[in-house]
Amino acid sequence: MTDAPHCIFLNGLPGSGKSTFARSFIESRRGWLNLDVDVIRGLLGTFHVDFLSAGAEVQPLALAVLREQIAAGGNVIFPQLFFVPEEARPFEEAVVAGGGHVHRVLLKEETAECWRRVEGRANRAPSGSVEQKILTMLSASGGVDELQRIETQLFAWMDLPEPLRVITSATPFSEVAALAYE
């Protein structure tokens, strides 16, 4: 680990591979926490009833875990779709308040491929799963067209003084880990 803790916010479309990338990223990195909000959301009984409300309910828990990990000097990779920078602000502020460094990364994947993955995951997942809830929500909003709309919305991140660093699933983990040592 470095002197100060780091948090890599791994943003991207549903199906872009954020969770998979984060799981693989931490496998050989001692002291890194994969703070996957969808995993925590799936632990709440209410997510079956109201998926969106469960997302709001899990945010304080995710924020508390993030604060604790940063305060302990640990690093975090945080795979989460933040539509606009304002959604990530409380999390980024918690990292900075804890003496940590914020790194913003966008995992870019073609929207058609993301849609294929979302459908495939949902079809393999148990009934009522997070994966099926995501497919249902996206389908109701237009499917691949909704993913294209979200992708356009993600470009708001590029207007920040420190915009997202864009990677793909082929980007070596070492390149992403190097963010913590710049």
Query: What is the tens place of the pLDDT at every residue in 84-110?
Result: 889 999 999 999 999 999 999 999 999
- pLDDT at residue 139 greater than cutoff 70: yes
Q: Is residue 47 part of a domain?
A: yes
Share of the chain above pLDDT 90, in %: 60
Q: Is residue 182 part of a domain?
A: no
Distance, in Å, from the CA atom of 165 to the CA atom of 172, rounded to the nearest integer, reads 14
Query: Helix crossing, 144-154 with 111-124: angle to 10°?
Result: 120
pLDDT at residue 1 in the model: 44
- Residues 111-127 have pLDDT tens digits of 999 999 999 999 999 88
pLDDT at residue 3 in the model: 81
Q: Is residue 17 part of a domain?
A: yes
User: Could you tell me if 174 and 1 are in contact, meaning their C-beta atoms sit under 8 angstroms apart?
Assistant: no
Highest mean pLDDT of the ranges 25-34, 62-71, 152-161: 62-71
- Residues 126-136 have pLDDT tens digits of 888 888 888 99
Domain CATH for 117: 3.40.50.300
- Residues 39-74 have pLDDT tens digits of 888 787 766 666 667 778 889 999 999 999 999 999
Query: Helix crossing, 51-71 with 130-140: angle to 10°?
Result: 120
Q: Is residue 70 part of a domain?
A: yes
Residue that is written with structure tokens 């082929």 in the block:
170
Q: Is residue 1 part of a domain?
A: no
Q: Is residue 49 part of a domain?
A: yes
pLDDT at residue 182 in the model: 61
Q: Is residue 122 part of a domain?
A: yes
The pLDDT confidence band at residue 9, using thresholds 50, 70 and 90, is very high
Containing structural domain, residue 171: 6-176
Structure tokens at 172: 């070596």
User: Could you tell me if 173 and 77 are in contact, meaning their C-beta atoms sit under 8 angstroms apart?
Assistant: no
Mean pLDDT of the chain: 89
- Torsion angles phi and psi, residue 9, rounded to 5: -85, 110
Q: Is residue 48 part of a domain?
A: yes
pLDDT at residue 72 in the model: 96
Indicate the number of domains in the chain. Answer: 1
Q: What is the value of pTM for the model shown? A: 0.90
